[in-house]
């Protein structure tokens, strides 16, 4: 067996963010994470992704769990492992573009509470939407991890991915993260892309795959052979299905090779018992899509979104319509110009597909978010939006061509004024600025006031 590198493979832990988002609908509370933190800190991870994505929204919408305090708690226990968050470029941890001053303030506060690495991506790979976040992270003196949203379309090739990654390196990225959020990647594609990125870049490359399509572990092995520097993993009892490959498999499989990780596989016995308990505790939220779903090669829905889409259809007593919705997702994505199905384009596509199926008419109802997408408020899609969707969404209005955030008025002082004395800190103001519809009730409960 030959390897393009002889350095130990590094691991990024994703249990507390994408792991629980993919398998347990992001419902795990900070309190239930605490007993695991000291042991996780001793494993030997290169970093731990534990914030961002859907965690912020779920904390304030469903859990009454202070998202900012979650980072502080982790920082108290994680003495050796850098903390990472997933930042959706100009969308931060929300589902729309926020003004530049909100982006800057958010990064400043996130850095202060303890985020060391900012994994920044844009759902459409429109890097104009990452510029402000990159600058803010540089100013805060923290690490920028750029991201490639892997997907399959007529507009996405290895050459295009490399070109995008090189631009992110030029912008200041210190590491490139390849995210196969829907489990689409094949082993040959993994070898080809990682080899191309390693040849073209001067910074490390990490790979993130979901097990949805059943090929993630094979892709990881081929990426290791191609010289990948790091992999995103979960412990085995919180892995697989729409989640991620287990770390133990790679620790054991690489032992004695030039890429030996040096990590003791024995330490995962007690950790797995603890994560098994967590999984049972949150069983009501667990994805029923356990195993392999080769349908992901068509619908390309990310693991975390599959779980949430399933839960939403269940609450509408329409779970039996899931196959129809997944099929419609394929058609809607093509109509949208083949965006990678990362947040928020995945939510827009999934919601529109659900509406189309449940109403029985395509685009009879078009959401405000989809209208804004067609206007260009989320950036430039890889391909052309279909004339049918453009007509229904814009009703003759012309789309924009500038950077979307250039059209937004500053938001910080406005948010401070609107939330007033209910905010006790800059963090509270940001929570309101990001989620005004739910933040007021959340903050009232947080401070013991009537909601």
Q: Do 328 and 435 sit in the same domain of this protein?
A: no
Q: Do 305 and 332 sit in the same domain of this protein?
A: yes
83-87 vs 117-120, strand pairing mode = parallel
pLDDT value for 80: 97
Q: Do 154 and 185 sit in the same domain of this protein?
A: yes
Classified as helix, coil or strand, 148 is: strand
Q: Do 279 and 190 sit in the same domain of this protein?
A: yes
pLDDT value for 450: 67
Burial grade of 191 (CB within 10 A; 0-12, 13-18, 19 or more): buried
Q: How many whole angstroms separate alpha carbon 370 and alpha carbon 116? A: 34
pLDDT value for 297: 77
Query: Within a domain: residue 47?
Result: yes
Q: What is the DSSP string of 27-51?
A: ---HHHHHHHHHHHHTS--SEEEEE
Q: Do 220 and 316 sit in the same domain of this protein?
A: no
From first to last of its 451 residues, the chain has per-residue pLDDT tens of: 789 999 999 999 999 999 999 999 899 999 999 999 999 999 999 999 999 999 999 999 999 999 999 999 999 999 999 999 999 999 999 999 999 999 999 999 999 999 999 999 999 999 999 999 999 999 999 999 999 999 999 999 999 999 999 999 999 999 999 999 989 999 999 999 999 999 999 999 999 999 989 999 999 999 999 999 999 999 999 999 889 999 999 999 999 999 999 999 999 999 999 999 999 999 999 887 767 887 777 777 776 677 678 878 988 999 999 999 989 999 999 999 999 988 889 889 999 999 999 999 999 999 999 999 999 999 999 999 999 999 999 998 999 999 999 999 999 999 999 999 999 999 999 999 999 999 999 999 999 986 5
Query: Within a domain: residue 1?
Result: no
Q: How many domains does the chain have?
A: 3
Q: Do 46 and 145 sit in the same domain of this protein?
A: yes
pLDDT value for 296: 79
pLDDT value for 347: 87
CATH assignment of the domain containing 23: 3.20.20.70
pLDDT value for 304: 61
Smallest CA-to-CA distance from 23 within 333, 361, 287, 315 is with 287
Classified as helix, coil or strand, 204 is: coil
Q: Which residue has the tokens 């060391």?
A: 116
Of 238, 258, 285, the residue that ends a domain is 285
Q: What is the dihedral of CA 182, 184, 189, 190, to 10 degrees?
A: 40
Domain that holds residue 217: 10-285
pTM for this predicted structure = 0.94
Q: Do 248 and 328 sit in the same domain of this protein?
A: no
Q: Name residues whose C-beta falls within 8 Å of residue 449's C-beta, 6 or more positions apart in sequence.
A: 422, 443
pLDDT value for 1: 75
Q: Do 198 and 93 sit in the same domain of this protein?
A: yes
CATH assignment of the domain containing 387: 1.10.472.90
Query: Within a domain: residue 161?
Result: yes
Q: How many whole angstroms separate alpha carbon 265 and alpha carbon 430? A: 41
- Give ∠ CA 273-53-447 in degrees, rounded to 5: 90
The answer to whether residues 328 and 356 touch, using CB atoms and an 8 Å cutoff, is yes
pLDDT value for 292: 85
Q: Do 99 and 161 sit in the same domain of this protein?
A: yes
Q: What is the dihedral of CA 353, 356, 358, 361, to 10 degrees?
A: -170
């Amino acid at each position: 067996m030959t390897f393009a590198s002889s350095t130990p493979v590094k691991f990024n832990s994703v249990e507390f963010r994408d792991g629980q988002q993919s398998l347990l609908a992001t419902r795990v509370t900070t309190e239930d994470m605490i007993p695991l933190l000291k042991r996780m800190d001793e494993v030997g991870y290169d970093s731990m992704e534990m914030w961002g994505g859907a965690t912020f929204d779920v904390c304030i919408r469903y859990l009454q769990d202070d998202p900012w305090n979650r980072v502080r708690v982790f920082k108290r226990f994680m003495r050796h492992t850098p903390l990472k968050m997933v930042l959706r470029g100009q969308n931060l941890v929300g589902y729309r573009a926020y003004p530049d001053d909100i982006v800057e303030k958010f990064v400043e506060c996130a850095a202060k509470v303890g985020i060391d690495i900012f994994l920044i991506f844009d759902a459409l790979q429109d890097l104009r939407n990452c510029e402000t976040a990159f600058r803010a992270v540089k100013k805060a003196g923290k690490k920028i991890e750029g991201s490639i949203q892997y997907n399959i379309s007529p507009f996405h090739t290895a050459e295009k991915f490399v070109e995008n990654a090189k631009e992110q390196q030029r912008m200041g990225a210190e590491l490139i993260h390849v995210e196969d959020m829907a489990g689409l990647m094949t082993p040959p594609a993994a070898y080809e892309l990682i080899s191309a990125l390693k040849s073209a870049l001067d910074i490390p490359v990490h790979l993130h795959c979901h097990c949805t399509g059943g090929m993630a572990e094979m892709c990881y092995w081929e990426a290791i052979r191609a010289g990948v520097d790091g992999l995103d993993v979960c412990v085995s009892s919180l892995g697989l299905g729409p989640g991620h490959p287990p770390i133990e498999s790679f620790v054991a499989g690489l032992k004695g090779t030039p890429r030996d990780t040096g990590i003791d596989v024995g330490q995962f016995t007690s950790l797995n018992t603890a994560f098994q308990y967590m999984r049972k505790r949150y069983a009501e939220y667990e994805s029923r899509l356990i195993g392999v779903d080769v349908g992901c090669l068509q619908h390309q829905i990310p693991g975390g979104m599959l779980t949430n889409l399933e839960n939403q259809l269940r609450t509408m007593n329409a779970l039996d319509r899931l196959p129809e919705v997944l099929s419609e997702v394929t058609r809607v994505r093509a109509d949208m110009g083949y965006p990678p199905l990362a947040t928020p384009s995945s939510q827009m596509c999934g919601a529109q597909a659900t509406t189309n199926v449940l109403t029985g008419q395509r685009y009879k109802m078009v959401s405000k978010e989809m209208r804004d997408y067609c206007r260009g408020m989320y950036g430039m899609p890889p391909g052309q939006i279909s004339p049918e969707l453009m007509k229904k969404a814009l009703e003759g209005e012309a789309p924009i061509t500038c950077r979307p955030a250039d059209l937004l008025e500053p938001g910080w002082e406005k948010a401070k004024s609107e939330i007033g004395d209910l905010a006790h800190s800059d963090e509270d103001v940001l929570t309101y600025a990001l989620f005004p519809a739910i933040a007021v009730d959340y903050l009232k409960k947080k401070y013991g006031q009537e909601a």
